[in-house]
Amino acid sequence: MDRTRDELVVLQLLEEIQHLVELAGGDEQADGEPNPRMHPAAKLYLDTRDTFEVIEKLVELHMHDKPRLLRRLSRQNSTSESATDLPPLDAPAQAPNDAAIDRIEEMFRHLGALLGSSILKELRLRKLSIKSILHYVRFLPMEFQWAAYKEARKEEVEIVYRETMFSSLVAMQNSAQSDMQSLKQRAEFVKQQVRKDVDTVCLFAADGSLTTIFSDDDNMMEENIAVKFESLIADVYSSYLQESLDAQMKILTHVSDQWAHDMSVSATTSTHADSSLVVQCFCRPRKFRTKDEEVAAEMS
């Protein structure tokens, strides 16, 4: 297979996507929802990513039933107007493979910025793994990459929670220490999942600098990455953290109620004990005096 010819096919597909985008208008409507007219362009964008992956022989793992190319390449010649704001491509015979690859990636980024919302909507419909989603959004702006990752992680964490945690927590409901055990399990679950996010997203360089797998993060400060993770935790783990807080409040309320009950019982018992002791104090001297008189009488 002629790789140069395949690269030109991908370039023509990308120019056709550009043409579809121009015909459809903006990516979002007035209400903020993705423009439905951009949906065909978004689908073709993702399918073209598959074609480009074959050319590059990437080793990323994908689902076996991932969609094939749904739209055949138009036989019409592409024009310079279909590649607005993009640098011109040299003649095929004079363009080395590296230049063609750079051009393809540049067009993927350009179109990804225009189709971000529609691409995320199409990815939701395809029900892909996180690894596949990260592959498809590689050339999208950073905000769309984070949004796609958060949505996928939220669904994945929900599945893991149902399969591993839910049945265990239900089984512990009748246990004597169920509240404390469930609190520990929820905290451990959130900790393990957040650690998985760090291992997946963060990149630690030899010089100690921190970046993420999202391409536009190269110049970000660590504080900005921390803000992104705060958003991730709020969007993905807030419900599980709320459950942990509810469980902890339940434990504290139970301890508080038990302490109040114990103090009430202790106060009542103390009142009765003090009354009997006072009576004994008045009785014992009379008993001792009586015994002294009996002993004196016997001695005499």
Whether 217 and 226 have beta carbons less than 8 Å apart is answered as no
Q: Which of 108, 136, 164 is the last residue before a domain boundary? A: 136
Q: Are residues 127 and 155 located together in one domain of the fold?
A: no
For residue 149, which of 201, 190, 221, 196 has the smallest C-alpha distance?
201
Place of tokens 């958003």: 231
In a domain, 280, yes or no: no
In a domain, 68, yes or no: yes
Q: Which domain holds residue 175?
A: 142-263
Q: Are residues 67 and 183 located together in one domain of the fold?
A: no
pLDDT, tens digit, 9 for 90 and up, residues 149-161? 999 999 999 999 8
Q: How far apart are CA 255 and CA 41, in angstroms?
A: 60
Q: Are residues 106 and 72 located together in one domain of the fold?
A: yes
In a domain, 272, yes or no: no
pLDDT above 80 for 107 = yes
Q: Are residues 127 and 158 located together in one domain of the fold?
A: no
A 10 A CB-CB count for 104 gives 22
For residue 152, which of 114, 101, 92, 193 has the smallest C-alpha distance?
193
pLDDT above 90 for 272 = no
Instruction: Check residue 284 and give its pLDDT.
Output: 52
Token output for 140: 């999208």
Q: Are residues 112 and 189 located together in one domain of the fold?
A: no
Q: Which of 106, 136, 166 is the last residue before a domain boundary? A: 136
Q: Are residues 199 and 125 located together in one domain of the fold?
A: no
The DSSP secondary-structure symbol of 218 reads: T
In a domain, 193, yes or no: yes
Q: Are residues 68 and 150 located together in one domain of the fold?
A: no
Q: Are residues 77 and 165 located together in one domain of the fold?
A: no
Instruction: Check residue 207 and give its pLDDT.
Output: 79
Q: Picking from 40-49, 118-127, 263-272, which range would have the lowest pLDDT averaged per residue?
A: 263-272
59-63 mean pLDDT: 35
Q: How many structural domains compose the chain?
A: 2
In a domain, 71, yes or no: yes
Q: Are residues 11 and 127 located together in one domain of the fold?
A: yes
Instruction: Check residue 76 and give its pLDDT.
Output: 34
Angle between helices 142-160 and 178-201 (to 10 degrees): 150
For residue 49, which of 128, 153, 146, 166 has the smallest C-alpha distance?
128
Q: Are residues 154 and 91 located together in one domain of the fold?
A: no
Q: Are residues 129 and 238 located together in one domain of the fold?
A: no
Considering only CA atoms, give the Rg of the chain: 36
Q: Which of 136, 156, 181 is the last residue before a domain boundary? A: 136
In a domain, 106, yes or no: yes
pLDDT, tens digit, 9 for 90 and up, residues 83-96? 445 555 444 443 44
In a domain, 14, yes or no: yes
pLDDT, tens digit, 9 for 90 and up, residues 238-249? 888 887 777 778
More confident residue, 72 or 153: 153
Q: Are residues 150 and 235 located together in one domain of the fold?
A: yes
At 264, the pLDDT band (50, 70, 90 cuts) reads confident
Among 75-89, 105-119, 231-245, top mean pLDDT goes to 105-119
72-84 mean pLDDT: 37
In a domain, 296, yes or no: no
In angstroms, what CA-CA distances link 225 with 109, 149, 152, 210? Answer: 22, 14, 19, 8
pLDDT, tens digit, 9 for 90 and up, residues 184-218? 888 889 999 999 999 988 888 777 777 788 855 55
